[in-house]
A and B are shown apart, each in its own frame.
Chain A
Amino acid sequence: MKFAIIVFPGSNCDHDCYHAVKHVFKQDADYVWHKAASLDGYDCVILPGGFSYGDYLRTGAIARFSPVMGAVMEFAKKGKPVLGICNGFQILTEAGLLPGVLMRNKGLKFICSRVSVRVENNATAFTSAYKKGAVASIPIAHADGNYYADAETIKRLEGEGRVVFRYSTPEGDVTAEANPNGSVSNIAAIVNEAGNVMGAMPHPERACEDALGSIGGHKVFESIIKNRAPR
């Protein structure tokens, strides 16, 4: 399976995603510069974390105008998997591929921490290897991860099972204390209507190896690879 890892100016988790895909999961992977016009030949696109364009103006707001985003839209339209992690999630909301917005954390500070997320929907291309209701330990590292959407959108997301991960206690209880950033309904990851575009604030690529203290994100990549869409 061949992954495209998009590199925007200011992306800084591109190497980490590449390492996970290439060395942990032994898949093909390329860095794709944000000026690329086509994503032909790839089976999955990852928009990695970082600070594209320095997060200036608003997180993801400038990156979404990068030339490659046209190709990302096309790619998504074909039903192929697109995974936006952290800044990648922010870019996907700015680009309109996912609803809602990521606001400044409720505590106004950057938070780097390992958190627990509960798998709300395991019937997606990104989570099928998890059991529904399973709790995974995956790190977060962001200043703007406070997911917000209007009540109607939230209702739709919930109703359509599009909330994929929710911040929870290690036991799986979704509580206010377990919500690190103030996200509505403890939302940590969502998918689009077709289910092939996921945005997640937690970093699964940082939780794929025992050596790093957690393998809670391993099943995200496992799922993607297992569900590889036919070319």
Chain B
Amino acid sequence: MKSSNEGDYWLDRPGSVDKVYWSVWIGCAALLLVEPLIHMHAEVSIAQWFGFNGLFGFVSCVALVIAAKWLRRFLMRPEDYYDR
């Protein structure tokens, strides 16, 4: 189905995905580095700790995915499960 005269896409080039991947790391590092420059205030005291939001985001997403993957054992059925 792919046509041969398809345009050249940056994401298809070797190494591009790596660049995206490492730029996420760099972006996150930058977000942590600027934190001391900004006066953090929040309604909940724990949210004012250094790096709290980043750590919370990372840990909760990893936990979410691992838990959901584990749930597949109990919840996943073949696509025609209800039609049989």
Genuine A/B complex: no
